[in-house]
Structures are given as C-alpha cells and as structure tokens.
Chain A
Amino acid sequence: MLHIVNRSPLSDCALESCLSTASGGDILLIEDAVYAATSGNAFEGKVRAAMGRFKISVLRPDAEARGFGDRIIEGVSPVDYADFVELVAANKTCQSWL
C-alpha cells in the first residue's frame, strides 16, 4: 500500500508513526515531510534504515519550494505530480498520516 506523509519529522510524529506501524510498501513524502529526506537532518538515519522495507519517494516541487531540490538523500526518488497519481493508482489502498 501507499503511505503519504506531509508533516516535518522534527516537529510531528506522523512519519515516526508511519515507519513504526507500516510493514512495507510505498512511502511518499510531500509538503513539510520532504525535510525528512534532506541530507544532514536529524531524522535522516531513520529514513535510511527504512529504505530496505519501503520504496521511498519525495515530491520534487515541494522539495524545490523549500530550497532542498539539490539535497535529497540518495535512495529516495524525487517524483512529480504525474508520478504521484501513478503511485496512488498503482496501490490498492492509501493511508495519509495527517
């Protein structure tokens, strides 16, 4: 299934909850959750540790808006809005960790 997270990992436990609850599948980081996938942030290690279990993507326009288009960690795939739709369509279910 697809897990969508839109909160910063350093000010909200949404991504933490997602990672500890979900067993696997796709994770898409959008809006303020894109900070989780930026190099050097305190949550980076947890994102890296989750890469084996999940396929992690980040919405590129949200990363660029925040000035981090060029600082996405390796192993996280930058995607655009069309890819977002594809991800939703490709998964039977979707959980938004609001």
Chain B
Amino acid sequence: MSSVKKFMFVNRKAPYGTIYALEALEVVLITAAFDQDVSLVFLDDGVYQLKKGQQTKGIETKNFSPAYRALADYDIEKLYVEKESMQARGLTEEDLLVDVAVLSRAEMGALMDEQDVVMSF
C-alpha cells in the first residue's frame, strides 16, 4: 500500500560556499524516484542557487545549476521562491534559470504547514 506524501525541501544556502545546495539537489533527485508530491522552496540565500549565468570554470567546481532545469523531466515541477528574499538580493524572476512561483513569506509559511515531510538544507 503506497500513499503519496507531501515532501518539501527547504533551500536556504547559497551554492558552492557550502555543500548544502548540492546535497539538497541530490536528495531531491532520489525522492523523485518514489513518485511523491515534491515541492522545492528557495528562501534567504537559497534563491542564489537559481541565479542564471553561473560559470564555475574559474573555481574548478562542477556547475550543478543546469540540473534545476532538468527537474521537470523527473516530474518535479513545484518550485517556489520567496519574494522578499529575492528582493533583498536585487533579483527578479528574469534573473532565475527556471520558471518558479513567487510567494510571500506568509504564503511560504502556510505552504510549509501543509507538508507531511519537511527536509531542511
């Protein structure tokens, strides 16, 4: 008997400076194999993960940002970005490499409350 649960992955860290962003992405891709209801949210410095134009050759690190565009192929289509976080960083939806739904902080909190499982990164 399998039942679909609501999984939320909360991304709050910038990419490359720490391993959190990459680790979150790995876990999300694993979760995708189990046909669950997956939401990815990006707030605080997590919004930087979705910035267009990442060029990592100079730091000799793998650029994992194209993987966010591949998420749709794994039926992960619920991507949410927190509006205030984006504004505080001078970013607009135009700066992001995937289509996202933009939520206020209050809406993000409400969405969090609806989840069965919340994974924090």
Contact = CB atoms under 8 A, between A and B. Distances in A.
A3 interface: no
Chain B CB count within 10 A is highest, among A7, A67, A68, A71, for A67
A68 B51 contact: yes
Interface size class of B (residues with CB under 8 A): 20 to 34
Interface of B: 12-18, 44-45, 48, 51-59, 61, 63, 65, 88-91
Interface size class of A (residues with CB under 8 A): 20 to 34
9 contacts: A11-B13, A41-B90, A62-B59, A64-B55, A65-B56, A65-B58, A65-B63, A67-B52, A71-B90
Contacts of B54: 64-67
Interface of chain A: mostly helix, strand, loop or mixed: loop
B70 to A, nearest CB: 18
B97 to A, nearest CB: 8
Given A40-B91, A42-B88, A44-B90, A65 B16 contact: yes
